[in-house]
Amino acid sequence: MRSEAVAAMLPFLSDRFGNPSGGHGAARDARMALDDARELVAAAMAVDPGDVVFTSGGTEADNLAVFGALAARDRPIGPIVCTAMEHPAVLNAGRAAAQQFGVELREVRSDAAGVVDLDQLAEACTVEVSLVSVMGVNNEIGTIQPLEDVATLVHERSPDALVHTDAVQVVSWLDPAGQCRGADLVAVSAHKFGGPKGMGALVTRTGVPLAPVIHGGGQERERRSGTQNVAGIVAMAEALRVTGEQRTETVARVAVLRDRLLDGLIDQVDGALVTGGRSPTVAGIAHMQIPGVETEALLVLLDQAGVAASAGASCASGAVEPSHVLLAMGLTRQEAVSGIRFSLGYTTTAEEIDLALAAVPEAVSQLRN
Polymer length of the chain? 369
Q: Where does residue 277 fall: left (phi above 0), alpha (psi -120 to 50 degrees), or beta otherwise?
A: left
Q: How far apart are CA 9 and CA 320, in angstroms?
A: 38
Sign of CA dihedral 141, 142, 143, 146: positive
Q: How far apart are CA 270 and CA 281, in angstroms?
A: 23
Q: Could you say which of 82, 125, 180, 315 is catalytic?
A: 315
198 contacts 56 by C-beta, under 8 angstroms: yes
Q: How far apart are CA 43 and CA 246, in angstroms?
A: 16
Q: How far apart are CA 124 and CA 131, in angstroms?
A: 11
Active site residue 125: no
Q: How far apart are CA 298 and CA 367, in angstroms?
A: 7
Strand order across the 162-166 sheet = 52-55, 200-204, 185-189, 162-166, 131-133, 80-83, 105-108
Give residues with Cβ within 8 angstroms of 43, minimum separation 6: none
Q: How far apart are CA 311 and CA 92, in angstroms?
A: 20
Q: Which residues are catalytic?
A: 315
